[in-house]
């Protein structure tokens, strides 16, 4: 099984949507731009967002088991995926990459 690297690529924030629809919260996200996590199969890495993991985990598992070319040519690197968490107020975009086994 391959390791999968997850890199935080972009973090967005939509204050207008937050002001209109979200109840105030003090702390929403611990991710940091450029942060890297390594995954072994289906296990969520320490410090990773549980909500984001729900979105990413099927792709992480598939990449770890050798899947590639999601959605028929979507990514330039067939052994990768660019996905975002499901937070509509402050979505975080993640790059998933299958690493070569040593």
Q: What is the pLDDT of residue 51?
A: 93
Q: What is the pLDDT of residue 46?
A: 94
78, 96 Cβ separation under 8 angstroms: no
DSSP codes of every residue in the chain: --EEEEEEEEE---HHHHHHHPPP-S------TT-EEEEETTPPPTT--HHHHHHHHHHHHHHHTT---TTTT-SSSTTEEEEE-S-SSS-EEEEEEEPPP-
Q: What does residue 75 show for φ and ψ, rounded to 5 degrees?
A: -105, 145
Average pLDDT over residues 68-76: 93
Q: Which residue has the tokens 């299958």?
A: 98
Contact residues for 100 (Cβ-Cβ < 8 A; gap 6+): 2
Q: Give the count of beta carbons closer than 10 Å to the beta carbon of residue 48.
A: 19
Q: What is the pLDDT of residue 40?
A: 85
- Per residue in 6-63, pLDDT tens? 999 999 999 999 999 999 888 888 999 999 999 987 789 999 999 999 999 999 999 9
- Per residue in 74-89, pLDDT tens? 999 999 999 999 999 9
Quote the tokens at residue 6: 């997850």
């Amino acid at each position: 099984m391959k390791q999968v690297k997850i890199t935080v690529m972009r973090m967005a924030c939509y204050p207008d949507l937050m002001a209109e629809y979200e109840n105030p919260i003090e702390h929403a996200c611990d991710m940091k731009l450029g942060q890297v996590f390594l995954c072994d199969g289906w296990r969520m890495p320490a410090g990773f967002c549980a909500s984001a993991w729900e979105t990413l985990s099927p792709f992480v598992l598939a990449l770890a088991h050798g899947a590639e070319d999601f959605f028929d040519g979507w990514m330039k690197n067939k052994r990768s995926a660019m996905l975002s968490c499901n937070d509509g107020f402050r979505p975080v975009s993640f790059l998933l990459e299958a690493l070569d086994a040593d």
